[in-house]
């Protein structure tokens, strides 16, 4: 099994990344499509893994022109917690509205939505633990982006490994939607449990 955590040895230098970026980005974007789950019209979960986080670190290093060891380690320390460890799934929740006024009103109405996101299989439902890195909402509104961890029960994990369907939903009073993971998403999530 591949190690979960990324290290400096897993990263391209800034010069190497400039050379390989287009091909690496295309590979990651294709990979992310199999990890994308729209839940209703305005919320999307992106289930993260080691490759998606490697891409995120590489992009941050590139954008910020970080090449010193401490800065690289800071980025690794920021993004490594978003890699599943075999007992959980990690996801980025995006609340998406194209109109700015509509988005602002929705973020007020959807306060605490991040605490109402769940996954279910084999009769067990698990709610996400949200934003362990920092608080992303306040007393009046939620943020448009949240980082979630689904700590799976043994029953849920065993059911998924045995082929059970995975349902994903949000049961917020102002946003109530449920979907079943596609076969491709399900296969990715099974891989995250190995």
Q: Tell me the per-residue pLDDT of 178-189, one tens digit each, with 9 for 90 and over.
A: 999 999 999 999
Burial of 148 from C-beta contacts in 10 A (0-12 / 13-18 / 19+):
buried
Q: Domains in the chain: how many in total?
A: 2
Average pLDDT value over all residues in the chain:
92
Verify that 123 and 77 share a domain, yes or no. no
Percent of the residues in the chain that have a pLDDT greater than 90, as a whole number: 86
Verify that 112 and 63 share a domain, yes or no. no
pLDDT at residue 17, rounded to an integer: 95
Verify that 156 and 182 share a domain, yes or no. yes
* pLDDT, tens digit, 9 for 90 and up, residues 121-152: 998 999 999 977 655 566 788 889 999 999 99
Report the C-alpha gap between 69 and 31 in whole angstroms. 29
Query: Could you tell me the CATH number of the domain that includes residue 157?
Result: 2.60.40
Query: By residue range, what is the domain housing residue 174?
Result: 40-45+85-194
């Amino acid at each position: 099994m591949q190690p979960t955590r990324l290290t400096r040895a897993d990263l391209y230098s800034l010069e190497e990344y400039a050379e390989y970026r287009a091909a690496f980005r295309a590979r990651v974007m294709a990979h992310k499509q199999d990890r994308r789950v729209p839940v209703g019209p305005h919320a999307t979960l992106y289930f993260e893994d080691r490759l998606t986080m490697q891409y995120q670190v590489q992009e941050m290093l590139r954008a910020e022109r970080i090449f010193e060891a401490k800065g690289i380690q800071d980025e690794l320390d920021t993004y490594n917690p978003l890699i599943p460890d075999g007992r959980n799934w990690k996801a980025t929740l995006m609340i998406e509205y194209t109109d700015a006024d509509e988005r602002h009103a929705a973020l007020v109405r959807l306060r605490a939505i991040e605490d109402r996101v769940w996954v279910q299989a084999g009769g067990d439902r698990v709610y996400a633990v949200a934003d362990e890195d920092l608080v992303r909402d306040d007393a009046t509104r939620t943020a448009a982006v949240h980082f979630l961890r689904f700590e799976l029960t043994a029953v849920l994990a065993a059911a998924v490994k045995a082929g059970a369907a995975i349902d994903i939903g949000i049961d917020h009073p102002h946003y109530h939607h449920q979907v079943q993971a596609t076969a491709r998403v399900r296969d990715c999530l099974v891989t995250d449990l190995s």
